[in-house]
Chain A
């Protein structure tokens, strides 16, 4: 375990849990007799933590799709290809598509061809939760913009409201489009909206998000934006970074080094 990772786990207050206990009770097949529940703190203080991510697009390998494959596998994201029914949590977009208002004239060819990882920004002022009529999508105590699939009525207001195209609707039953089922996480049902959840199920176990963990280039960093001493804050302080469409006031929690 490298220093960053240990740091992250300690900061999240769940160090005792890094061992095998974490998996118990969460993955039915590997349930153990004794479970360590220290990770499950009681009702958290809202607004104390704000999880955030920093994507270093310089390190992100061309043609590499490790994180995407891993995320979509772990979360049972159906594969409908690039059709109108497409469902995606994390994907690569062109630089100009991800940052449409960034300067486009006379840019380097490297930048023009750069692929940028795009995912839900877990905005601090999310337009999607404002539009949702049932609070099926809501901003959690830790800054994660979460989906309650049990409650969503499928009105797709959040999709019209999200300025980043981060949300996908289940236009048809997702199950037939899953090659392998990953039993630790549920699938979705036809008729609800889904999107990246910042791996809240892994955070509860003291693990880093799957994409962060799977990246061979260590291009992704994750941490608490509200903690000035966190690694991500240090990196934000020492690098020039960008957020997507900052002019909209959504305050994204995903940052980019270009």
Chain B
């Protein structure tokens, strides 16, 4: 089937070429990081995780959100989702792949990565995360591919795909819950040490992931003349709006608990991110941009008259993805390290090398997504 990705228009090849250039840039930056060490990034003793782990966190959410099309289609027989379900599954595959690449990029000794499996440590949340992420990638890849293959032959999918797809539903929740537990179980990182982190991760994932999915359907409509359907989109828009609302509700509860209780440790990270702490305020404009675009986007998605218009829908989805990307893909991880355990406030600024590696990994993910979707669309449109 994969050979279908080898036939394409000039625009398709230009896109692939662009991605390959970005991947090359990323690989050369990574080679530099490998030879000089992680010191070439902006991370340091006090802020010991940066863009890589933040992107990982955001992308686990994108991967998990495939469940928002799989669940209604397979469990509730929502026929409107028949065309979009494969897009969701393949988006999950590429997002899960990017997650693993980001973890690898963040490791000081990537050549020893198999130690995680050689010395399985069930008390470590990383162990579980590696398990569930790999599992999720393969469940989605195998089930999506098998269903597509069956469709190409014009036969119903093999009976074993169904339990696999059902399994992917709780599995999607598990990947993001375990990812939240990576953070939420660490004592004395007060921004993360909260029971609402896992629900909030799920809510923001379902908001941003579905918004991203809507945007992808628009892109596919434009560049591949493949329309997943207006109905699917508007249903997803509603899901995204409610998930976004839940996300901001959870954020609000964090603020209430921290500021009403007035416990300094609980307030400090939020202060640093949203208002600035002792003169350090590098994220303040970004965080407010995130909150405002997020709230406006949710508002637009909530209004039926607005979300029915493509332009409004595109704008609102872009806004929501951006908002959650800033919140989760930047603020949450870095804010958690401020102040440091010794009450120091250290600022973090990613370096060019770090950003190039990040861009390279995104390009790898997009390339995989492009190839998978190209195949899927070729099958669906019987080219």
Contacts and interface: CB of A to CB of B under 8 A. Distances in A.
Nearest to B36: A172
A192 interface: yes
Contacts of A169: 38, 45, 48, 108
B107 A155 contact: yes
A133 B341 contact: no
Interface in A66-92: 83-87
B108 A134 contact: no
B378 interface: no
Instruction: For chain A, give the interface size range.
Output: 35 or more
A36 interface: no
A131 B46 contact: no
Contacts of B103: 155
Nearest to A125: B187
Contacts of A164: 341-342
B245 to A, nearest CB: 30
A100 interface: yes
A138 to B, nearest CB: 9
A130 B115 contact: no
Interface in A171-218: 171-173, 190-193
Contacts of A130: 123-124, 185
A16 to B, nearest CB: 37
Contacts, number: 140
| Interface of A (DSSP majority class) | loop
A100 B345 CA distance: 14
Interface stretch (A27-35, A41-49, A107-115, A146-154): A146-154
A96 B189 CA distance: 18
Contacts of B125: 131
A250 B186 CA distance: 11
Interface in B256-310: 265
Given A93-B342, A157-B124, A191-B38, A134 B48 contact: no
A136 B115 CA distance: 9
A9 B336 CA distance: 44
B37 A134 contact: no
A67 B112 CA distance: 34
B119 A135 contact: yes
Contacts of A168: 45
Nearest to A166: B341
Contact of A133 (B46, B121, B337, B340): B121
B188 A190 contact: no
B335 to A, nearest CB: 13
Interface in A49-73: none
Nearest to A161: B186
A153 B107 contact: yes
A151 B119 contact: yes
A32 B45 CA distance: 41
A100 B266 CA distance: 13
B186 A190 contact: no
A192 B337 CA distance: 20
Given A83-B44, A134-B116, A157-B126, A170 B343 contact: no
B191 to A, nearest CB: 12
B317 interface: no
A245 interface: yes
A156 to B, nearest CB: 5
Nearest to B183: A160
Q: Could you say which of A85, A133, A173 has the most chain B C-beta atoms within 10 Å of its C-beta?
A: A133
B43 interface: yes
Given A153-B108, A160-B189, A172 B123 contact: no
Interface string B144-185: 000000000000000000000000000000000000001101
A165 B342 contact: yes
Q: Could you say which of A101, A155, A159, A162 has the most chain B C-beta atoms within 10 Å of its C-beta?
A: A155
A97 interface: yes
Contacts of A157: 124, 126, 182
B342 A97 contact: yes
A191 B109 contact: yes
Contacts of B116: 133-134, 153
Contact of B45 (A85, A134, A161, A245): A85
A191 B37 contact: yes
Interface in B173-212: 182-183, 185-189
B342 A152 contact: no
A2 B113 CA distance: 49
Contacts of A152: 108-109, 112
Contact of A134 (B121, B187, B188): B121
A249 B185 CA distance: 13
B45 A131 contact: no
Q: Could you say which of A86, A165, A192 has the most chain B C-beta atoms within 10 Å of its C-beta?
A: A165
Nearest to A151: B115
B342 A171 contact: no
A155 B126 contact: yes
Contacts of B366: none
Contacts of A118: 342
Contacts of B21: none
Nearest to A104: B264
Given A153-B113, A165-B342, A171-B39, A160 B49 contact: yes
B187 A248 contact: yes
A209 B42 CA distance: 35
A84 B109 contact: no
A155 B104 CA distance: 9
10 contacts: A84-B42, A97-B342, A100-B265, A127-B186, A134-B121, A156-B49, A161-B187, A165-B342, A192-B109, A248-B187
Interface of A: 83-87, 93, 96-98, 100-101, 118, 127, 130-136, 151-157, 159-165, 168-173, 190-193, 245, 248-250
Given A133-B124, A163-B188, 5 more contacts: A84-B46, A96-B343, A136-B115, A154-B38, A191-B108
The 4 A-B residue pairs with the shortest CB-CB distance, nearest first, are A154-B108, A84-B44, A191-B108, A163-B188
